[in-house]
Structure 1
Amino acid sequence: MKPKAIHFISIGGSAMHNLAIALYRQGYQITGSDDEIYEPSRTRLQQYGLLPEQDGWFPEKIHKDLDTVILGMHARADNPELARAQELGLPVYSYPEYIFQESEQKQRVVITGSHGKTTITAMILHVLKYFNRNFDYLVGAQIEGFDTMVRLTEDAPLIVIEGDEYATSPLDQRPKFVHYQPHIAVISGIAWDHVNIYPTYEEYVDQFELLAEAMPKAGVLIFDETDDMLDVIGLKERPDVHSVPYQAHRHRILHGQTVLVTDTGRDVPVLVFGEHNMKNISGAMAVCDRLGVTSEMFYEAIQSFKGAARRLEKVAENDGRILYRDFAHAPSKVEATTQAVKEQYPDRKLLAAVELHTFSSLNKNFLSQYKNRLDAADVAAVYFNEHTLQQKRLAPISVDDVKTAFDRPDLNVFTDTADLENFLLQQRQAANVFLLMSSGTYGGLDILKVANELV
Structure 2
Amino acid sequence: MTKKYHFIAIGGAVMHNLALSMAAKGYQVTGSDDEIYEPSRTRLEKAGILPKEKGWYPDKIHSGLDGIILGMHARIDNPELQKAKELNIPVFSFPEFIYEQSQDKKRVVISGSHGKTSITSMILHVLKYHQMDFDYLVGAQIEGFDLMVKLSNAPVIIIEGDEYLTSPLDRRPKFFHYHHDILLMSGIAWDHFNVFPTFDFYKEQFEKLVDLTPESGYFIYCSEDEHVKKLGQKVKGKIDNLIPYKAHPYKINDGVTYLLIDSGEISINVFGEHNLQNLQGALEICLSLGLSKEQFYQAIQEFKGAAKRQEVLAKSENSILYRDFAHAPSKLEATVNAVKNQFPERKLIAVQELHTYSSLNKDFVHNYANTFDKADLAVIYLNPKAVSLKKLEIMDEETLRDAFQRNDLKLFTNIDQLKVFLESQDYLNTNLLLMSSGNYDDMDLSQLKTKINQNK
TM-score normalised by the shorter chain: which range applies? over 0.9
CA spacing shift, 1:205–1:448, aligned 2, 3 Å: farther
Gaps of 5+ in 1: none
- TM-fit CA distance, 1:451: 1.9
SS state at 2:17 partner? helix
- Aligned-partner Cα distance in 1 for 2:157–2:297: 22
- Counterpart in the other structure of 1:34: 33
The equivalent of 1:67 in structure 2 is 66
Check conservation: 1:315, 1:448, Cα contact below 8 A: no
Instruction: Find the counterpart in structure 2 of residue 172 from structure 1.
Output: 170
1:359 aligned counterpart, secondary structure? coil
Task: Write the distance in 1 (CA, Å) between the matches of 2:237 and 2:195.
Answer: 28
Tell me, in whole angstroms, the C-alpha distance in 2 between the residues paired with 1:47 and 1:399.
46
Asked if 1 retains the 8 angstrom alpha-carbon contact of 2:324 and 2:435, the reply is: yes
Instruction: State the distance in 2 between where 1:10 and 1:450 align.
Output: 36
CA contact 1:5–1:28 (8 Å) conserved in 2: yes
Q: Deviations over 1:261-312 (max 9, x none)?
A: 11x2510111100000000000000000001111111111100000000000
> Equivalent residue of 2:442, what SS?
coil
**C-alpha separation between the residues in 2 aligned to 1:87 and 1:332?**
45
What does residue 44 of structure 1 align with? 43
SS at match of 1:21: helix
8 Å contact from structure 2 (residues 32, 56) kept in 1:
yes
CA offset digits 1:14-69 (Å, max 9, x no partner):
11010000001111111111112222222222221222222211111111111110
Instruction: Give 1:243 deviation, angstroms.
Output: 1.3
1:97 equivalenced with 2:96 (yes/no): yes
- Pair 1:122-2:146 in alignment: no
User: What is the CA distance between 1:238 and its match in structure 2?
Assistant: 4.9
Alpha-carbon distance change, 60 to 453 in structure 1, aligned in 2, over 3 angstroms: farther
Q: Which of 273, 285, 288 does residue 287 from structure 1 map onto?
A: 285
Output the amino acid matched with 1:442. Answer: Y
Secondary structure in 2 matching 1:235: helix
SS of the aligned residue for 1:351 comes to strand
CA distance in 2, matches of 1:326, 1:151: 25
Structure 1 partner of 2:107:
108
Distance (Å, rounded) in 2 between the aligned partners of 1:47 and 1:402: 45
How many angstroms apart in 2 are the aligned matches of 1:399 and 1:41? 37
Quick one: distance in 2 between partners of 1:424 and 1:396?
A: 23
- 1:225-244 equivalent positions in 2, closer than 5 A: 225-236=223-234, 237-244=236-243
2:343 aligns with: 345
Q: Which residue of 2 aligns with 1:191?
A: 189
Q: Find 1:315's aligned residue among 303, 313, 327.
A: 313
Q: Where do 1:430-449 residues align within 5 Å?
A: 432-449=430-447
CA contact (8 A) 1:351 1:431 kept: no
1:240, distance to aligned residue in structure 2 (A): 3.7
How much does 1:256 deviate?
2.0
In the alignment, the residues of structure 2 paired with residue 256 and residue 430 of structure 1 have an alpha-carbon distance, to the nearest angstrom, of 16
Following TM superposition, by how much is the alpha carbon of 1:400 offset from its aligned partner in structure 2, in angstroms? 2.6
Amino acid at match of 2:50: L
Aligned to 2:271, which of 270, 273, 276? 273
Q: Quote the offset at 1:386 in angstroms.
A: 1.0
Map of 1:373-392 to 2, 5 A cutoff? Answer: 373-392=371-390
Aligned residue in 2 for 1:450? 448
- Give the Å deviation of 1:229: 0.7
Do 2:314 and 2:452's aligned partners in 1 also have CA atoms closer than 8 Å?
no
> CA separation of 1:168/1:440 partners in 2, compared to 1, >3 Å: closer, same or farther?
same
Alignment CA distance shift 1:106-1:429 (3 Å): closer
Per the normalisation by structure 2, the TM-score is 0.97
* TM-score of the superposed pair, with normalisation by structure 1: 0.97
Residue 449 (structure 1) shift: 4.6
Question: What are structure 2's unaligned runs of at least 5 residues?
Answer: none
**Which amino acid is 2:305 matched to?**
G
- Structure 2 counterpart of 1:77: 76
3-state SS of paired residue (2:440) = coil
- Native 8 Å contact 2:95 2:175 kept in 1: yes
Aligned to 1:148: 147
Counterpart residue identity of residue 188, structure 2:
I
Letter aligned with residue 122 of structure 1: S
Aligned partners of 2:246, 2:239: CA distance in 1, in Å?
Answer: 23
RMSD: 1.2
Distance 1:188 1:7, change over 3 A: same
Q: Does 1:24 align with 2:23?
A: yes
The one-letter code of the counterpart of 1:258 is: T
Q: Are residue 246 (structure 1) and residue 269 (structure 2) matched?
A: no
- Give, in whole Å, the separation in 2 of the partners of 1:81 and 1:400: 47
Given the alignment of the two structures, is residue 219 of structure 1 paired with residue 210 of structure 2, yes or no?
Answer: no
Matched residue, 1:406: 404
Instruction: Please state how far the C-alpha of 1:447 moved relative to its aligned partner.
Output: 3.1
Mapped partners of 1:19, 1:260: distance in 2 = 35
Contact 1:363 1:394 in 2 (8 A): yes
Q: What is the CA distance between 1:454 and its match in structure 2?
A: 3.8
Counterparts of 1:93 and 1:328, CA distance in 2? 30
In structure 1, distance between residues paired with 2:52 and 2:445: 30
Contact between 2:213 and 2:239, CA under 8 Å: does it hold in 1? no
Cα distance change of structure 1 residues 329 and 76 upon mapping to structure 2, 3 Å threshold: same
| Matching residue of 1:206 | 204
**What corresponds to 1:86 in structure 2?**
85
Q: Aligned letter for 2:135?
A: D
Percent same amino acid among aligned pairs? 53
- The whole-number CA distance in structure 1 between the counterparts of 2:375 and 2:15 is 36
